[in-house]
Amino acid sequence: MIVVTGAAGFIASCLVTRLNAANFNDIVVVDNFNVERKLANLKGKHLREYVDREEFFEWLDTHHEQVEFIFHLGARTDTTEQNRDVLNVLNLEYSQKMWQACCRYQLPLVYASSAATYGSGTLGYADDDALLPLLKPLNPYGDSKNDFDNWAVQQPEKPFFWAGLKFFNVYGPNEYHKNRMASVILHAFRQIQETGSMTLFRSHNPEYADGEQQRDFVYVKDVVEVCLFLMQTRRDSGIYNLGTGEARTFLDLTLGTFAALNRTADIRFRDTPEDIRDTYQYFTQADMSKLRRIGYDRPFTSLEAGIDDYVRNYLVPGHYY
């Protein structure tokens, strides 16, 4: 059996689809299944069992001998969450319990970290363990992810294989439920369909023109390929960046969405909301050399190709992956 936590969410549900495509159908999905709008992400998939996240560790105590691999992708993913108690429970303490259970039962583990751990990027974007205690995330969400990364590498007891993945700006199908936290592509698609235009955040940093803020946008189908690679190789444990290695602007992203819809671009700007303005990342770009060094050699999907696939094959027809 393969366990996937956060399974009704965006990245994890896409991973389940990719596992099914590779003929892994004995999958146990773990989540809070009371969130109705997320359940469509799992519809039609080959699954063995649904386990509520609050009951998972008790379930694992009973079934651990049947489990082959755990993907721990469940977390509180709202980067605007200010309640540190919520983040500590879901992102730090739950992950610590998962780590300890994997050590106890000798189960391999891949877990979700985040590029939010890099903060403003003053120390660069290298996935080097020596930098972990020096990183200064810009929000409590990033703190919670960095706290676990630091805790994990300091543990004297580790799973026989483990990997933490610092996801950069992931976009793609199955994010319909994410509301404000959805990718700008989904927001652009909806705005263009409704109004014919797209409004981006204005830059409040003199080093960047409006719309020229840059992020490392990575297609979710590439993310799940990396997950599959790690499950199959199970060597070279550590923390890895997961982006493309190429920063692109929000203008690039928005123009690509207009192009995929065969619409004339009409881009406008508004002030960045005050609750995120001071913690806004103006540039991210993953250093991907560490993942490449351990043998991952698949090319990453270009932003244009990823947007075109996402918009034409999922957003326009309303399909899931």
Residue positions in the annotated binding site?
10-11, 31-32, 38, 53, 73-77, 145, 169-170, 178, 180, 187, 201-204, 215, 280
Query: Which residues, at least 6 apart from 204, have a Cβ–Cβ distance to it below 8 Å?
Result: 271, 272, 277, 280
216, 246 Cβ separation under 8 angstroms: yes
Token output for 189? 């698609």
Catalytic, 50? Answer no
Question: What is the Cα–Cα distance from 227 to 223, expressed in whole angstroms?
Answer: 7
User: In the structure encoding, which two tokens stand for residue 261, read together?
Assistant: 């819809």
Of 17, 21, 16, 46, nearest in space to 31 by CA: 16
Can you say which residues are annotated as belonging to the binding site for NADP(+)? 10-11, 31-32, 38, 53, 73-77, 145, 170, 178
273 Ramachandran zone, left/alpha/beta (phi>0; psi -120 to 50): beta
Whether the CB-CB separation of 226 and 291 falls below 8 Å is answered with yes
Q: Which amino acid is at 164?
A: G
What whole-number distance in Å separates Cα of residue 121 and Cα of residue 117?
Answer: 9
User: Which candidate in 125, 141, 219, 310 is catalytic?
Assistant: 141
Asked if residues 306 and 219 have their Cβ atoms less than 8 Å apart, the reply is yes
43 in catalytic set: no
- CB contact burial 247-280 (16+ within 10 A = b; e otherwise): bbbbbbbbbbbbebbeeeeebeeeebeeeeeebb
Catalytic hit among 45, 158, 178, 290: 178
List the catalytic residues: 141, 178
